[in-house]
């Protein structure tokens, strides 16, 4: 955790200089400039899982790869995915029905399995059937990627390959890589089958969206000099890890927060009823009308940032205001601290949707809230994540009243690659009665 002293603050990790920035003006200059877009060497520990994907890459591949992949994730793509959301959320609701009236349980387990099925189908065209307790090896491996990578990151003695290789984390790392290759073969086989089916049909089945891997594979075939099959797979794993974990975490955390603050929950439900009524299907066009739900989700993103820190590295001497950063200097932006800076947040430790009232947002500097980063390395899945989270929450809140003990300051959080509730997302649910 970065100390609350005035930034910029410098410290040393062995022989390496690190400078931390949390002032919004400095943060904006860093994120907006391509001069500070080079990822820190620490991301090398993720490359064994994610390769030269959009999260880890800083070399010549990054810009051209992002340029061809980013257009896929537009608003129309999110709109086309709604039938997939609804199919799997229906199953999630059926499983949650068994918990109605029971004691507190971790709703995060149900949400995690549901989002795994959703994202697996949307990205890979592959059915994990996680909600039917299948593909458990893959599901566990995806969770353990964060644990293994973070453990290696914070334990310097695991940085050398030889010490990491003989450690328990190193052995788990090898198991995860083997499972990833096994999944790659299955997904690529399914891709070939879909291509063969399409060749035999005059038109494709438009009832569900074309999986993202099919679209990226066509780009690969048309631009074989741009990236190879390994790049294709690493991009897909990166997209899966970034989207599935983000959506599951934020939906689970929002359920927890609304359960702890029933007045906010009732305002959200009233808004949902006003927009959709009791039975009308969820339309992406109407998601923008859910202003209060949007405020609640934004404050959850503030409290549970997907990446608590951004780490960059200078590749030449650079200047920020009067401060000169030498070549090779590490730069850290502590998003977790930026999102709780009392200079800009009325109730920094609490769940407080009014932080995002329009008139309050206008008074706040732009880079006081950066859940999806910003600038050249901003997240390409921002629209998709926002739509996914809200569609899931609309369905869940239509069906269930959620109750949780305590208030947000009582929730202890832990960090790996993301910020999570240490003891899970424990709630009680009741069937919602239409008023």
pTM: 0.93
Residue 281 domain-assigned? Answer: yes
pLDDT for residue 278: 63
For residue 279, say whether it is annotated as part of any ligand binding site.
no
Asked if the peptide bond before residue 426 counts as cis, ω within 30 degrees of 0, the response is no
pLDDT band at 3; cut points 50, 70, 90: very low
pLDDT band at 205; cut points 50, 70, 90: low
CB contact at 8 A, 233 and 184: yes
Residue 331 domain-assigned? Answer: no
The domain in which residue 147 lies consists of 9-50+58-325+337-431
Phi–psi pair at 204, nearest 5 degrees? -90, 165
Helix ranges (DSSP H) in 201-308: 212-222, 229-260, 262-276, 284-287, 291-303
The two tokens of residue 209 are 């969206």
Q: In what order do the strands lie in the sheet with 105-106?
A: 105-106, 426-431, 400-403
Angle between helices 229-260 and 262-276 (to 10 degrees): 110
Cα(345)–Cα(21) distance, rounded to whole angstroms? Answer: 18
Does pLDDT of 90 surpass 60?
yes
Q: 20: which strand partners?
A: 9, 332
Residue 332 domain-assigned? Answer: no
Residue 350 domain-assigned? Answer: yes
Residue 2 domain-assigned? Answer: no
Residue 209 domain-assigned? Answer: yes
Strands 413-415 and 419-421: antiparallel
Q: 26, 24, 28: which is closest to 322 by C-alpha?
A: 26
CB contact at 8 A, 297 and 250: yes
> What residues have CB less than 8 Å from 90, skipping those under 6 apart?
395
Residue 237 domain-assigned? Answer: yes
Q: 415, 154, 153: which is closest to 308 by C-alpha?
A: 415
Does pLDDT of 1 surpass 50?
no
Split into its structural domains, the chain has a count of 1
The two tokens of residue 124 are 């890979």
Count Cβ atoms within 10 A of the Cβ of residue 119 and give its class: 0-12 exposed, 13-18 middle, 19 or more buried: buried
Domain CATH for 73: 1.10.630.10
Residue 194 domain-assigned? Answer: yes
pLDDT for residue 46: 82
Which of residues 46 and 134 earns the better pLDDT score? 134
Q: What is the pLDDT of residues 282-337, one digit of tens each?
A: 888 888 899 999 999 999 999 999 889 999 999 999 999 888 999 999 999 999 99
Q: Which residue's structure tokens are 């920020």?
A: 320
Which of residues 150 and 329 earns the better pLDDT score? 329
């Amino acid at each position: 955790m970065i100390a609350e002293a005035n930034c910029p603050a410098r410290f040393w990790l062995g022989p390496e200089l690190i400078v931390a920035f949390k002032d919004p003006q400095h943060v904006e200059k860093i994120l907006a400039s391509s001069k500070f877009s080079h990822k820190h060497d620490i991301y090398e520990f993720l490359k064994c899982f994610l390769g030269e994907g959009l999260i880890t890459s800083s070399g010549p591949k990054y810009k051209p790869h992002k340029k061809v992949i980013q257009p896929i994730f537009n608003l129309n793509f999110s709109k086309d995915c709604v039938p997939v959301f609804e199919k799997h959320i229906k199953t999630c609701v059926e499983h949650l029905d068994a918990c109605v009236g029971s004691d507190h349980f971790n709703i995060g387990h149900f949400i995690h399995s549901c989002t795994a099925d959703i994202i697996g189908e949307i990205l890979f065209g592959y059915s994990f059937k996680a909600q039917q307790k299948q593909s458990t090896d893959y599901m566990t491996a995806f969770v353990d990627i964060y644990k293994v990578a973070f453990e290696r990151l914070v334990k310097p003695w695991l940085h050398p390959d030889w010490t990491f290789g003989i450690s328990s984390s190193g052995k788990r790392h090898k198991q995860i890589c083997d499972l990833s290759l096994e999944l790659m073969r299955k997904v690529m086989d399914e891709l070939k089958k879909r291509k063969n089916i399409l060749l035999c049909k005059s038109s494709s089945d438009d009832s569900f969206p074309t999986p993202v891997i099919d679209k990226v594979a066509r780009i690969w075939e048309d631009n074989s000099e741009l990236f190879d099959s390994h790049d294709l797979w690493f991009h897909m794993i990166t997209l899966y890890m970034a989207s599935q974990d983000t959506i599951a975490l934020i939906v689970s955390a929002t359920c927890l927060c609304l359960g702890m603050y029933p007045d906010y929950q009732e305002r959200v439900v009233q808004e949902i009823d006003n927009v959709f009524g009791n039975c009308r299907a969820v339309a992406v066009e109407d998601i923008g009308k859910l202003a209060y739900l949007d405020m609640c989700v934004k404050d959850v993103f503030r409290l549970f940032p997907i990446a608590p820190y951004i780490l960059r590295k200078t590749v030449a001497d650079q200047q920020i205001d009067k401060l000169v950063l030498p070549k090779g200097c590490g730069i850290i932006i502590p998003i977790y601290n930026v999102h709780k800076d009392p200079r800009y947040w009325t109730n920094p430790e609490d769940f407080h949707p009014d932080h995002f009232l329009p008139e309050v947002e206008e008074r706040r500097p732009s880079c006081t809230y950066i859940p999806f980063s910003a600038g050249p390395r901003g997240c390409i899945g921002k629209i998709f994540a926002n739509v996914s989270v809200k569609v899931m929450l609309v369905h869940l809140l239509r069906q269930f009243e959620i109750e949780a003990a305590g208030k947000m300051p009582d929730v202890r959080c832990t960090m790996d690659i993301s910020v999570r509730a240490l003891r899970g997302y424990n709630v009680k649910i009741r069937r919602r009665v239409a008023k």
